[in-house]
């Protein structure tokens, strides 16, 4: 039986992808090239530095490791400008009541995000108290599709991997969940998340019954 649910943050609990995109596009434009919404799709779930390296490749721009760190810092300042204006209105529909119902049914709730800004965002939207464990980009060393973030999450709440469900909006996150031997629920479009065990459009109307209906192999 499922005993823990692991949630990605960006694109699952809040729609911060649009803010990441605006900050990355500004960085690309400042460097003299454009960065499109389609190219942004590839960056979902990818860490800040790896995202920057992919963007520099797109622009055909080469930078030293020191310059890369400085550019990443600058992008994060621009991104935080948006984050600082966030509030509870930015929580995606249905996810808060879903998590509350899971908690009422003794399911452990874990955050599994690549973001180093996760705690700040959860505080801004006032959901931080709902999590039994938070594994974010300040704790991991390997980016999704590596399963590290989810393996650490399951360990933190002492639940075997096969009794965990992951909610992810990024194909790389779905891959990470499956590499961790967890049940992967894709949140978003079925074509984009075709490798997920199940795809949902969003959390509206979902409750503990959804989790109860998942049968795991173990
Ligand atoms: C992931 C996002 O959750 O976090 C990526 O999908 C982002 O787009 C990554 O690059 C790192 O985020 P941050 O907040 O540490 O720059
Ligand atoms: Mg995401």
Cβ(116) – ligand 1 distance below 6 Å = yes
Single out the catalytic residue among 10, 30, 78, 132: 10
Cβ(20) – ligand 1 distance below 6 Å = yes
10 classed as catalytic? yes
Cβ(48) – ligand 1 distance below 6 Å = yes
Domain limits of the chain?
4-15+88-212, 17-83
Ligand 1 centroid to 209 CA: how many Å?
31
- Protein residues near ligand 2, an ion, with CB under 5 A: 8, 10-11, 169-170
Ligand 1 centroid to 71 CA: how many Å?
15
pTM for the model: 0.96
pLDDT at 217: 61
Per-residue pLDDT of the chain (218 residues), as tens digits, is: 999 999 999 999 999 999 999 999 999 999 999 999 999 988 999 999 999 999 999 999 999 999 999 999 999 999 999 999 999 999 999 999 999 999 999 999 999 999 999 999 999 999 999 999 999 999 999 999 999 999 999 999 999 999 999 999 999 999 999 999 999 999 999 999 999 999 999 999 999 999 999 987 65
pLDDT at 111: 98
How far CA 25 is from CA of 8, 36, 58, 179, in Å, comes to 23, 7, 12, 31
pLDDT at 218: 56
Cβ(173) – ligand 1 distance below 6 Å = no
Domain 4-15+88-212 is of which CATH architecture? 3-Layer(aba) Sandwich (3.40)
17-83: CATH, from 2.40.30.20, 1.10.8.60, 3.30.1490.20, 1.10.150.240: 1.10.150.240
Q: Give start and end residues of each alpha helix (H) in 10-94.
A: 17-30, 37-41, 48-59, 65-83
Distance CA(182)–CA(165), nearest Å, equals 6
Single out the catalytic residue among 8, 132, 136, 207: 8
Consecutive H or E run containing 112 = strand 108-112
Ligand 1 atom closest to the CA of 121, numbered from 1: 14
8 classed as catalytic? yes
pLDDT at 216: 77
pLDDT at 215: 84
Handedness of CA 98, 100, 102, 104 (dihedral sign): negative
């Amino acid at each position: 039986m499922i005993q823990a649910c692991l949630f990605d943050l960006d694109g699952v609990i809040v729609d911060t992808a649009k803010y990441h995109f605006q900050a990355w596009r500004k960085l690309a434009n400042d460097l003299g090239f454009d960065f499109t919404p389609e190219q942004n799709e590839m960056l979902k779930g990818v860490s800040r530095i790896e995202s920057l390296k992919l963007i520099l490749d797109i622009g055909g721009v080469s930078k030293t490791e020191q310059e890369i760190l400085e550019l990443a810092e600058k992008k994060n300042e621009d991104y935080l400008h948006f984050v600082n204006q966030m509030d509870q209105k930015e929580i995606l529909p249905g996810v808060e009541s879903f998590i509350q119902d899971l908690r009422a049914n003794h399911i452990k709730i874990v955050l599994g995000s690549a973001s180093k800004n996760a705690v700040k965002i959860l505080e801004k939207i006032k959901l931080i108290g709902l999590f039994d464990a938070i594994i974010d980009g300040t704790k991991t060393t390997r980016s999704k599709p590596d399963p590290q973030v989810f393996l650490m999450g399951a360990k933190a709440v002492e639940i075997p991997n096969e009794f965990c469900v992951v909610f992810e909006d990024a194909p790389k996150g779905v891959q990470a969940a499956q590499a961790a031997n967890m049940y992967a629920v894709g949140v978003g479009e079925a074509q984009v998340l075709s490798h997920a065990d199940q795809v949902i459009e969003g959390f509206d109307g979902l409750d503990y019954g959804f989790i109860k209906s998942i049968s795991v192999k173990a």
